[in-house]
Amino acid sequence: MIKNSTDYKRKFNAEKYDRLEITVPKGKKAVIKDFAEKQNKSVNGFVNEAIDEKMERDN
């Protein structure tokens, strides 16, 4: 049973999205975050865009 908006969002995300965890060298997370912010993107949006571009280019 969904009790509040947080529970609703968690359920929605679990149904609609897959999660992917990556590991980067110490300090690289901050570099990625700063770069994404300069592009007016979230880290998630930046990483998804980079993956899509690489897959399109190399396919």
Q: Cite the DSSP H helix spans in the chain.
A: 5-16, 28-38, 43-58
- By the 10 Å C-beta count (0-12 exposed, 13-18 middle, 19+ buried), 13 is classed as exposed
In degrees and rounded to multiples of 5, residue 19 shows phi and psi of -105, 145
Residue that wins the pLDDT comparison between 7 and 1? 7
Report the predicted TM-score, pTM, of the whole model to 2 decimal places.
Answer: 0.77
Segment 2-6 mean pLDDT: 86
Segment 22-35 mean pLDDT: 98
Residue carrying the six token digits 């865009």? 49
CA 22 – CA 35 distance, rounded (Å) = 17
pLDDT band, very low/low/confident/very high, at 2 (cuts 50, 70, 90): confident
